Amino acid sequence: MRSYLEHRVPSPDSSWHRLNRRLDETIPFEWHHHPEFELTLTLNSRGQRFVGNHVAAYDHGDLVLIGPNLPHTWASREKLDATQPHIALVFWFSREWIEGLAGGSVEFAPIRRLIDEAATGLAFGSALGGALAVDFETIFTQAPAERLIGLLQILVRLAGAEGRQPLSSVVPQEMEGDRSRLDRVLMHLHLHYHGPLLMAQLADIAALSESGLHRLFRKHTQSTVSDYLAGLRIGEACGPAIGNAPTHPAYRSRCRLWLACQFQPPVPAPSRHDPAGLPRLVSTVTERSPHLASHLIASERCSGDLARCHRCC
């Protein structure tokens, strides 16, 4: 499996695209990318959100702006109201279109800054997502000109929002020709990052030598395979401690950060006899201070025995 390229079908009365997606069973894991920006508001749903090498829990009101060609997906765990569907309200627009629209107006300078920041993906607070839910819903009932005004009003609100969170530490680069080799590796990493992974295995998936995969991955992600995988594992492990949300079932009976540091090749682990190595690694990946990283580790206990968790590492 690999990240698949989504294609938008042009509409004769609109310069951008919309989707009002309502799913009764689940929001499935569908790892994909596309050349447009994507603005998604998710309602009545909880689960995991994957953007680039960033993993986090999401909840009702999850609002994210994703840059072009940045692989992403959601995977739901439950609905808040079991009688209602999972809802994803999605807008797509191209860089050329939004830059052309905002480029000639100084009033839209905040929107230009916003889309520049969105290359890594941006998450906004669920409170803002909830506050904008009616605005999103209304756009699907409006005439084309009113829809455009509604989108611009939402983007202005987002541009002025404080506390927006950058997501992926990896920004995808434009690739000429077939990117299926890289996509196969990224898909495998996102589906299997909970378990042991070997560089030889990933190279086989890409049909490249290990050195060839390293060069390809570094060139197009500005990251090593090890750092990318570390971001996935530590993002998953630290997400519940930061966001007070449940984590992946595989972690429920074991120390989350113990699992995060049990790296096998291609990821070099901090010394299992050096507990100080883990806070430094968590600090690097989460962009939090070593002191806070230590606090996160201290809050994650598999059996109430912190010393046991530290000895594991």
* All domains of the chain in start order, with CATH: 4-166 (2.60.120.280), 180-312 (1.10.10.60)
In this prediction the pTM is 0.64
Beta-carbon contacts of 82 under 8 Å, excluding residues fewer than 6 positions away, are: none
Give mean pLDDT, residues 287-293. 48
Of residues 1 and 125, more confidence is placed in 125
- State yes or no: pLDDT of 306 exceeds 50: no
Q: How far apart are CA 30 and CA 6, in angstroms?
A: 11
Average pLDDT over the chain reads 75
pLDDT band at 24 (very low <50, low <70, confident <90, very high): very high
The three-class DSSP label of residue 58 is strand
- State yes or no: pLDDT of 193 exceeds 60: yes
Give mean pLDDT, residues 180-193. 78
> What pLDDT is attached to residue 223?
73
> What pLDDT is attached to residue 298?
47
Give mean pLDDT, residues 222-235. 72
> What pLDDT is attached to residue 302?
34
CB 301 within 8 A of CB 255: yes
Q: How far apart are CA 196 and CA 202, in angstroms?
A: 11
Q: How far apart are CA 5 and CA 68, in angstroms?
A: 11
pLDDT digits (tens, 9 = 90+) for 108-148: 999 999 999 999 999 999 999 999 999 999 999 999 999 99
Directed axis angle between helix 144-159 and helix 109-117, to 10°? Answer: 70
Q: Give the distance between the most distant pair of CA atoms in the chain.
A: 64
The single-letter code of the amino acid at 189 is L
- State yes or no: pLDDT of 13 exceeds 80: yes
Directed axis angle between helix 225-243 and helix 290-299, to 10°? Answer: 70
> What pLDDT is attached to residue 107?
92
Q: What is the DSSP letter of 34?
A: -
- State yes or no: pLDDT of 276 exceeds 80: no
> What pLDDT is attached to residue 280?
52
Residue 174's φ and ψ, nearest 5 degrees, are -65, 135
> What pLDDT is attached to residue 256?
42
Report H helices in the chain: 95-103, 109-117, 126-131, 133-139, 144-159, 180-192, 199-206, 210-221, 225-243, 256-260, 277-286, 290-299, 306-312
pLDDT digits (tens, 9 = 90+) for 239-260: 444 333 333 443 333 334 433 4
Of residues 295 and 313, more confidence is placed in 295
Count how many Cα atoms sit within 13 Å of the Cα of residue 174 in the half-sphere of its side chain. 3
